[in-house]
Structure 1
């Protein structure tokens, strides 16, 4: 799809036909199964100062935590016991990351069963990425947030589109099932920027694609900004499904922060994945990227069980499958019109 077509779909008076087309396409590839990824958020320490994120280094109001190996492995076991086919190890970006201990965790989790491991640990060098892949990590998620060079540089100080994109392409070359994504409704994002973001994202050789709405955090420079629109984020989800039929696309937790049934709306717009947090209760609320993230104080098993029942009530079936993309994209050559900054 061209940016003008994407823009027209984002601005159309109604989107019922768009959502129905995305659902039909999703069902033809994945059926009504929803892949489950259990997210272990093991530290909220971060060296970066992204303007939209509550984990930013300058947020001195945040109580920081770092789980030890035993706590991380117990959370991973909980995910497996709850029927998750994938364990996601996620963190803020540590100043100096413990490369080999993460490799150890990957090896231990792999012994828990036929599960996949996704890493979401931010920007690191090629040696680290290769080492973790050699240890058994299957996937890596590194979101672009936006491809617009000026907006990216303004909201992610000291960072550039080119550097981030180089890492996404590196991860693909190493052999990861690679994921990336964007945030809709970022302050300064226009419909034209979003349309171009969706086009460029779909031009990458990705197996996973994430899109979710901006939600302002009170301890960030964007605290007074308006949140992204649920409808716009859902339209972006549907368009990504139409442009990427075989990609795994999550109904993000940010949707639930805007609506009590946000994840169901995401699935009805063409998503096929949910990623509930299985981070231990004593620290879970500290992984506070945006208000509403990990806000529920209940035990993990209760939260996940409630989400699984929501899926069934909406006509979907929680799947324990590892949930690989059915048609892997390979190679990183041919990415169109990569932006520079």
Structure 2
């Protein structure tokens, strides 16, 4: 097999590899190789985005969900989940607080299929009217093409929908039979065609995931060319069938962040809360390895612990302003700085 460092060099220059070469990189991960990939990825993101880290205000609008994903703490059949739904007024209060703290992107995330689309449209229109300099990102799961179009027409700029895995057989091990891999892929295609800035993504170290699965994920990202990609380690949640499964690792997640940056140099790549949960310095390590987005929580503190997709989630008790200043200090400690801008993808040639 080709020298793995040479594969990193080729990926840095060409942004494409064969699937078996991605697999070799996944299987051949060492500290030295990961450090090398991180150095290349960091140089690439600095060339395009400098040392600025885009900040997104995350608002978890509710944890009711019609789906029963086997890994997720807010799955429909989890009777231990303390359910809540924010009102329109509460969500707008979160936006107001975020705007005053300098946030210029709001990410509205919630369980699937609970908030009627006409209500989402009304909410998005109101946010855009109040804060015309802000971007609105939605992360509300699978919808019909018509529904995605309506939300886009109401003013939504971006949509996050993790593909979870690009391997159909693996997808079926993580989701109930009522959910379909083909429909998830249809959603992503529709979102892109409608004109959203689209984010996909996957869990690292999810149950039954193999090097083959991860190589398929990397090849999918290369082909799909998303504007954003959210990855984080799988963390088991105590009320799910996967409660006793091992968690994914920070090291593998950070390495994959570097590879994704090398695949798509201008991608918007978050260092996720899950990464900060599994490693106290995970978000900093992610930024140093090629990530350029962080997503502090703007949700009301009274509800945050209830949005428990996984166990031991960090920052559930901090006020929004605390999260903002804490992240600022953390980023500055490693030579980066929070940027309070919309943070759209940079499309110039690189």
TM-score, normalization by structure 2? 0.91
Tell me which residue corresponds to 2:216. 196
Q: Shift in Å at residue 314 of structure 1? A: 1.5
CA contact (8 A) 1:215 1:228 kept: yes
Counterpart in the other structure of 1:19 = 38
Contact 1:40 1:89 in 2 (8 A): yes
Residue aligning to 1:36? 55
CA-to-partner distance for each residue in 1:18-41, whole Å, 9 max, x for gaps?
110010011111100001110111
- The answer on 1:166 being equivalent to 2:186 is yes
Per-residue deviation, 1:233: 0.8
Q: Which residue of 1 aligns with 2:335?
A: 315
Distance in 2, Cα, partners of 1:93 & 1:293: 21
Q: Which residue of 1 aligns with 2:101?
A: 82
* Structure 1 partner of 2:325: 305
Q: In 2, Cα distance between the equivalents of 1:204 and 1:181?
A: 11
Match of 1:184 among 201, 204, 222: 204
Structure 2: unaligned runs, 5 residues or longer = 1-16
Per-residue deviation, 1:303: 2.0
Going from structure 1 to structure 2, the CA distance change for 1:198 and 1:328 (only over 3 Å counts) comes to farther
Equivalent residues in 2 for 1:48-87, closer than 5 Å = 48-87=67-106
C-alpha contact 2:277 2:314 (8 A) present in aligned 1:
no
Structure 1-normalised TM-score?
A: 0.93
Q: In the TM superposition, what whole-angstrom CA distance separates every residue of 1:195-223 from its partner, at most 9, and x where no partner exists? A: 11111122103111111110011010000
**Equivalent in the alignment of 2:25:** 9
Residue 105 in 1 paired to residue 154 in 2?
A: no
Q: Is contact 1:106–1:117 with CA below 8 Å preserved after alignment?
A: yes
Moved over 6 A (4+): none
Query: How many Å apart are 1:156 and its aligned residue?
Result: 1.1
Checking the alignment, whether the CA contact within 8 Å between 2:207 and 2:245 is kept in structure 1 is yes
Residue of structure 1 in register with 2:292 after alignment: 272
The 2-side partners of 1:271 and 1:244 are apart by 12
Match of 2:137 in 1: 118
Q: Residues of 1 paired with 2:213 and 2:151: CA distance? A: 34
- Shift in Å, 1:328: 8.5
Root mean square deviation of aligned Cα: 1.4
The question of 1:47 aligning with 2:63 is answered: no
The superposition leaves residues 231-277 of structure 1 with CA deviations (integer Å, 9 ceiling, x where unpaired) of 11111110000001011010011101101111001111100000111
Residues 316 and 295 (structure 1), Cα distance of their counterparts in 2 relative to 1, 3 Å cut: closer
1:215–1:254 contact (8 Å) kept in structure 2: yes
Aligned to 1:223: 243
Q: Deviations over 1:143-191 (max 9, x none)?
A: 1110111110121112222110111010011111111111110111111
2:10 maps to: none
Aligned counterparts of 2:264 and 2:38: Cα–Cα separation in 1 = 14
Tell me how far 1:94 sits from its aligned partner: 3.0
The separation in 2 between residues aligned to 1:174 and 1:33, in whole angstroms, is 29
